[in-house]
């Protein structure tokens, strides 16, 4: 393949909540909205990922082409149709050139680990301006689930990526969407593994529990804003310092859905700063409720650790994202956390897409913040709609962001 001088990589994350395990896990079609911004090119995208026959997710360590990796493997059941991974591109800020893809298959070799093999006979994929897919066949196996897209910032008017001459490839970028790895199993494969403990020579830690229902396996449910309902009754006087201020309806709504509470002295304390720990707590509860659970957690010491652990496990933050949980959180950090708690692709866009003047286009959270603007969750400040990303967020502003996010009637059409 020709060399791409500027290469970018973007993998879709699966950040769902484990479902209760039945006696035997049943396949579903995994469908996830994905949005992001691609590194130094500053191109934003919005997409929908689909994986039919999905059984669950294995998190394990394996040697891939000589390198030990912590890998995330989507396990799927091969049915009447071929195994596939597909992505629908709903929006993309660059120019994509159609390409033929050759999925990578991995074979296990004793003493070496998994060794890749490209271009399995006749089984291909494709990518284009509208999306892409990988057809992984009907025989089962272990594959890469990443769909590659090739794009430029300016239209070069070539029908396919293969038509682009060598001297023009310095103007190309690439990224991928999908899932990291796919383990496809036929019914016979599953039976053989449960009998022998091996599939294609490898033991696959956690697979027996997933297939046999011997323990809870991490299967991902579909989230929904419909899960977020009022569980508390708000009445005037619940907060001694809230009456008719502009933020009163937002403070009330955040209280009703159990995502913000007042202080022990009965005040809301609108101008008080929201700490990193408090913001992670809100985001963790929101994520849990959005995916169909209660939002209740068993606290330990320090009180916020259970929420931090949850957020790390669900891919909302990295373990080292914050080094001080007691400091005030910024507006940008708050928006980023909330954007990872729910699927922003499900928000109705009621405002035109406009450039955010004080957020860099190549910022990793630009697409999420833009989605919050377009859906009326954020409105910006002044005539140009500045976001003030590095300003510390206060409780009134946080309640407003939360209430609009979970309540369509409170969002603002500009």
The pTM (predicted TM-score) of the whole model is 0.81
Q: 394: helix, coil or strand?
A: strand
Q: What are phi and psi for residue 86, nearest 5 degrees?
A: -135, 155
Q: What are phi and psi for residue 340, nearest 5 degrees?
A: -90, -10
Helices (H) and strands (E) in the chain, counts: 8, 12
Angle at alpha carbon of residue 408, lines to 311 and 234, rounded to 5°: 80
Q: What is the pLDDT of residue 1?
A: 39
Q: CB 92: neighbour CB atoms within 10 A?
A: 19
C-alpha 32/C-alpha 128 separation (Å) is 19
By the 8 A CB rule, do 286 and 260 touch?
Answer: no
**Which tokens go with 303?**
């009180």
C-alpha 48/C-alpha 86 separation (Å) is 8
Q: What is the pLDDT of residue 39?
A: 83
Closest CA to 78 of 13, 144, 146, 142: 142
Provide the CA 392 distance to its chain's centre, in angstroms.
Answer: 25
Angle at alpha carbon of residue 330, lines to 329 and 336, rounded to 5°: 95
**CA atoms 399, 402, 407, 409: torsion sign:** positive
- Alpha helix (H) residue ranges in 233-347: 248-256, 276-290, 305-313, 331-341
Q: What is the pLDDT of residue 349?
A: 94
Q: CB 109: neighbour CB atoms within 10 A?
A: 12
Angle at alpha carbon of residue 403, lines to 17 and 377, rounded to 5°: 95
By the 8 A CB rule, do 266 and 240 touch?
Answer: yes
C-alpha 90/C-alpha 163 separation (Å) is 25
Reading the chain (414 residues) residue by residue, the pLDDT tens digits are 333 433 333 334 444 444 444 446 788 898 889 999 998 788 999 999 999 999 988 989 999 999 999 999 999 999 878 889 999 999 999 999 999 998 899 999 999 999 998 655 555 899 999 999 999 988 899 999 999 999 999 999 999 999 999 999 999 999 999 999 999 999 999 999 999 999 999 999 999 988 876 644 444 567 899 999 999 999 999 999 999 999 999 999 999 999 999 999 999 999 999 999 999 999 999 999 999 999 999 988 999 999 999 999 888 999 999 999 999 999 999 999 999 999 999 999 999 988 999 999 889 999 999 999 999 999 999 888 999 999 999 999 999 999 999 999 999 998
Binning the chain into helix, strand and coil, the percentages to the nearest 5 are 25, 30, 45
Name, in order, each residue with C-beta under 8 angstroms of 111's C-beta and a sequence gap of 6 or more.
Answer: none
User: What H or E segment, with its residue span, contains residue 178?
Assistant: strand 173-185
Q: What are phi and psi for residue 330, nearest 5 degrees?
A: -85, 165
C-alpha 83/C-alpha 220 separation (Å) is 18
Q: 14: helix, coil or strand?
A: coil
**Which tokens go with 375?**
């859906």
Residue reference for tokens 């890469």: 144
Provide the CA 14 distance to its chain's centre, in angstroms.
Answer: 5
**Which tokens go with 48?**
């929908």
**Which tokens go with 242?**
């809230």
């Amino acid at each position: 393949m020709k060399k791409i001088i500027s290469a970018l990589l973007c993998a879709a994350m699966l950040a769902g909540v484990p479902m209760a395990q039945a006696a035997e896990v049943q396949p579903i079609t995994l469908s996830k909205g994905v949005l992001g911004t691609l590194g130094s090119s500053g191109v934003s995208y919005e997409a929908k990922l689909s994986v039919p026959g999905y059984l669950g997710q294995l998190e394990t360590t394996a040697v891939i082409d000589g390198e030990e990796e912590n890998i995330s493997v989507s396990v799927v059941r091969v049915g009447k149709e071929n195994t596939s991974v597909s992505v629908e591109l709903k929006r993309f800020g660059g120019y994509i050139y159609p390409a033929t893809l050759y999925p990578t298959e991995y074979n296990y070799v004793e003493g070496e680990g998994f060794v890749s093999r490209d271009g399995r006979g006749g089984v291909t994929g494709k990518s284009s301006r509208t999306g892409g897919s990988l057809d992984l066949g009907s025989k089962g196996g272990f594959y890469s689930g990443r769909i590659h897209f090739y794009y430029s910032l300016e239209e070069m008017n070539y029908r396919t990526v293969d038509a682009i001459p060598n001297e023009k490839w310095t103007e190309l970028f690439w990224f991928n969407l999908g899932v990291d790895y796919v383990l496809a199993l036929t019914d016979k494969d599953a039976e053989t593994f449960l009998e022998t403990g091996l599939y294609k020579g490898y033991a696959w830690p956690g697979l027996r529990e997933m297939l046999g229902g011997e323990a809870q396996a991490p299967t991902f449910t579909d989230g929904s804003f419909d899960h977020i309902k009022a569980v508390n009754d708000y009445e005037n006087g619940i907060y001694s310092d809230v009456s008719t201020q502009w933020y009163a309806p937002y403070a009330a709504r955040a209280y009703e859905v159990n995502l913000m509470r007042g202080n022990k002295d009965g005040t809301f304390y609108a101008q008080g700063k929201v700490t990193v720990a408090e913001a992670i707590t809100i985001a963790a509860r929101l994520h849990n409720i959005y995916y169909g659970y209660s939002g209740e957690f068993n606290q330990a010491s320090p009180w916020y650790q259970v929420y931090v652990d949850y957020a790390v496990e669900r891919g909302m933050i990295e373990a080292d994202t914050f080094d001080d949980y007691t400091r005030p959180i910024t507006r940008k950090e708050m928006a980023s956390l909330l954007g990872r708690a729910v699927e922003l692709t499900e928000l109705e866009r009621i405002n035109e897409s406009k450039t955010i003047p004080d957020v860099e286009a190549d910022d990793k959270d630009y697409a999420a913040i833009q989605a919050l603007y377009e859906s009326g969750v954020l409105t910006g400040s002044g005539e140009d709609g500045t976001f003030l990303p590095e300003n510390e967020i206060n409780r009134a502003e946080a309640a407003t962001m939360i209430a609009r996010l979970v309540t369509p009637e409170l969002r603002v059409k500009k």
